[in-house]
Structure 1
Amino acid sequence: MTGEQQIIIHVGLHKTGTTFLQERVFPALPDVRFVHPLHYAQPSDGPIERFLLELMFRNAACIDVARHRERINAWLAQLHERTVLISSEAIVGWPIENHSNLSINAEYLARVFPTAKIWLVVRRQDRWVESAYAQLLKAGFSTSIERYLNYRDGRFDRYNVGLYNGPNVDARDLNWDAFDRHYRERFGPDAVLTSPFELFTQDSAAFLRRFYAFAGIDADRSVFPDTRERVNERWSPLTAGVAKLVNKVPMPVKRAIRDRLGSEWHPSAVLARTLPASLLAGRTRALTPALGAALLELHRANNEALGRRIGLDLSAYGY
């Protein structure tokens, strides 16, 4: 690297408060250049955004890493900020593709930013699945949570590759311990901070202070926003159930309607805006208690190992 900056890469997971952090925390940090690559090109994109856009959507074998590295180093050399913070939950991989691009993303990021620090935020598997599944419905898909988890005859089966199988995951691969170990093996054992999302929801100040200490950011000059404000909040079980039915309409029809009217006129979005909160809450959850317990049992040993490595008792958060 030709610049003097420290590189911090916030890699996700999805559904762990990333939008809140990207909108309410990261842009306000002192002496930090915040880079937020989106999923589409913008005129204002710099060399890091252009590199991440290719990493997310191109065949990695066709990416000219040396060229990207040269352009990024030239850009870093003219910065005044001491820290560059890159945040994209897509770096950890696409959930609907079983996070299968996590490893190649880590490899290419390490080639460009070999001394970077990695921040991974995890979430209890059953709650993560509920939130990720609700997001699928919000995005226009229709599937059962059992099919999403490949849960058949009392056991979790492998990931089904291919669009015709619908969005799905291999529940066995929701192994945050493996994610953490992979980043430490690639970037170094002390270059990774893994934080539970549950700490953010229970004590956001403690959650952020852990990150600021890891990143070398002055906590006394940094932000501690009111986390009661919700950003990118998921639909309730009732509105999600309506979406599951409405989304059975063929995708070309749904896309045409959405392009004409806008996603805010999806029936579930209308319900979410107009019905009282008391009518939306307290409905049956998509993930049954038995299925949730089976998912947590599947990862009991993994979660214990992760807790030991990061120095937190994850069982205190229900892991």
Structure 2
Amino acid sequence: MKIDFLQVGFHKCGTSFINTNIYDIHPEIHCVHANENLELERLLLMKFILQDGLEYNSARFEKAFNVIGANLLSEQAHAINGLNFGPLLFMYRRRFDRKVIIERIRNFFGEVKVITCIRNQSTWLTGHYSHYLKSGGLLAFDDFLESFFHNPYLYKHEINWLPSVALLHELFGKDRVLVCLYEELNDAPQRFTDKITGFLETQPLAVNPEKVNPSMTRFGMFLKRMSNHLVRYDEGESDYAFKRDLYEANPSYLARAKQKFIYSFYKNATIRLSQKGGELFGGNIKIKLKASQLKKIKMEYGKDNMELSKLLDIDLGKYGYY
């Protein structure tokens, strides 16, 4: 089964824009989004990423992947088939070394092209905080950052881009890996798009420059956090905590009704109201990190960001990579 490219990488780095404005509308590109297919997503997570060396069976996985993929991938000769699944790089159990997963990707998918996106850590954190609030989070921004840097199960190590990019270059070859900068997307969406279509050797595409899935303003974040408190009673850190509040082995009728109300109406309605309210009453002011927080980011990622800048031959400093 022909897979021409993989789109991998962490959320809040521009992948929503790429999916909506490039892959989903380009006439030559047929990209399967694994997170939109429960069966494929479960297979990739449980039988490919999360299995250790003794559990992983490449022949069994290939058979299952081909069965599922036969109904999802295009068999047309001119089609460029892609698979988009960020966790291929970033979701692994703590006992895993990233190299194990990337080697597994290389061995199974062969000489495919790989596209990944990165973003400077300070704006990624504000974007992720917006995502956290949209998902039901309660923590104030300062508390959220403290939790982020001190909780080993969160993403602190995963937004250090150097190890993954270096391994992709090593195992796939630098000419088969495209590293896209979120900051370039913001500055010049058309040039960003041309870089991807050129890398995939397909025809150029006139892109819609409108932002996709933008972060909320500072006031919008405040409104969303307050609205989350109305349906939550715990102070947990989980960004998927709506489910934590409602989950029971045998949920009552009231609990099921509350869950349906939250997911079918309340969550999306409060996101829209918070975004509109933030724009109307708070202007377009985004949340910013304090000097002490920026210093912590520099201490955590600064050295590796300098190495990454050399590896990519790009001055990442001008894009805020401390």
TM-score past 0.5 threshold: yes
Range into which the TM-score falls when normalised by the shorter chain: 0.7 to 0.9
Q: Give the Cα–Cα distance (whole angstroms) in 1 for the partners of residues 294 and 15 of structure 2.
A: 23
Q: Which residue of 1 aligns with 2:239?
A: none
Compute the TM-score of the two structures, normalised by the length of structure 1. 0.76
Q: 1:205 to 1:102 in 2, by over 3 A?
A: farther
Deviation at 1:192, TM superposition (A): 1.5
Instruction: Note if contact 2:16-2:213 (Cα within 8 Å) is conserved in structure 1.
Output: yes
Q: Which residue of 2 aligns with 1:164?
A: none
2:21 to 18, 21, 24: 24
1:126 to 122, 126, 136: 122
Letter in 1 for 2:85: S
Q: Report SS of the residue matched to 2:166.
A: helix
Q: Report SS of the residue matched to 2:7.
A: strand
The yes-or-no answer on 1:317 pairing with 2:285 is no
The yes-or-no answer on 1:226 pairing with 2:219 is no
Greater than 6 Å deviation, 4+ residue runs? none
Q: Report SS of the residue matched to 2:18.
A: helix
Instruction: Note if contact 2:3-2:109 (Cα within 8 Å) is conserved in structure 1.
Output: no
Deviation at 1:39, TM superposition (A): 5.8
5 Å matches for 1:40-55? Answer: 41=38, 51-55=43-47
Deviation at 1:89, TM superposition (A): 2.5
Q: 1:281 to 1:89 in 2, by over 3 A?
A: farther
Deviation at 1:73, TM superposition (A): 6.0
Instruction: Note if contact 1:150-1:157 (Cα within 8 Å) is conserved in structure 2.
Output: yes
Q: Which residue of 1 aligns with 2:169?
A: 184
Q: Which residue of 1 aligns with 2:9?
A: 12
Q: 1:207 to 1:72 in 2, by over 3 A?
A: same
Letter in 2 for 1:52: L
Q: Report SS of the residue matched to 1:38.
A: helix
Q: Report SS of the residue matched to 1:119.
A: strand
Name which of structure 1's ranges 183-192 and 272-281 shifts more when overlaid on structure 2.
272-281
Q: Which residue of 2 aligns with 1:237?
A: 218
Q: Which residue of 2 aligns with 1:287?
A: 289
Instruction: Note if contact 1:15-1:128 (Cα within 8 Å) is conserved in structure 2.
Output: yes
Deviation at 1:234, TM superposition (A): 2.7
Letter in 2 for 1:118: V
Instruction: Note if contact 2:190-2:209 (Cα within 8 Å) is conserved in structure 1.
Output: no
Q: Which residue of 2 aligns with 1:36?
A: 33
CA deviations on 1:255-295 (whole Å, 9 max, x unpaired) are 75342243542474253365372313355726334313431
Q: Give the Cα–Cα distance (whole angstroms) in 2 for the partners of residues 149 and 169 of structure 1.
A: 11
Q: Which residue of 1 aligns with 2:200?
A: 215
Q: Give the Cα–Cα distance (whole angstroms) in 2 for the partners of residues 94 and 141 of structure 1.
A: 21
Deviation at 1:105, TM superposition (A): 4.0
The yes-or-no answer on 1:109 pairing with 2:105 is yes
Q: Give the Cα–Cα distance (whole angstroms) in 2 for the partners of residues 212 and 52 of structure 1.
A: 26
CA deviations on 1:127-172 (whole Å, 9 max, x unpaired) are 0011112111111122344444447xxxx955434xxxxxx333x6
> Number of paired residues?
294
Name which of structure 1's ranges 82-91 and 18-27 shifts more when overlaid on structure 2.
82-91
Compute the TM-score of the two structures, normalised by the length of structure 2. 0.75
Structure 1: 5+ residue stretches without partners: 162-167
Q: Give the Cα–Cα distance (whole angstroms) in 2 for the partners of residues 315 and 175 of structure 1.
A: 15
5 Å matches for 1:124-273? Answer: 124-150=120-146, 158-161=150-153, 168-170=154-156, 174-219=159-204, 223-228=205-210, 230-248=211-229, 249-250=232-233, 251=242, 252-253=244-245, 256=255, 257-262=258-263, 264-266=265-267, 268-269=270-271, 271-272=273-274
Instruction: Note if contact 2:217-2:278 (Cα within 8 Å) is conserved in structure 1.
Output: no
Q: Give the Cα–Cα distance (whole angstroms) in 2 for the partners of residues 258 and 232 of structure 1.
A: 24
Letter in 2 for 1:122: I
Deviation at 1:180, TM superposition (A): 0.6
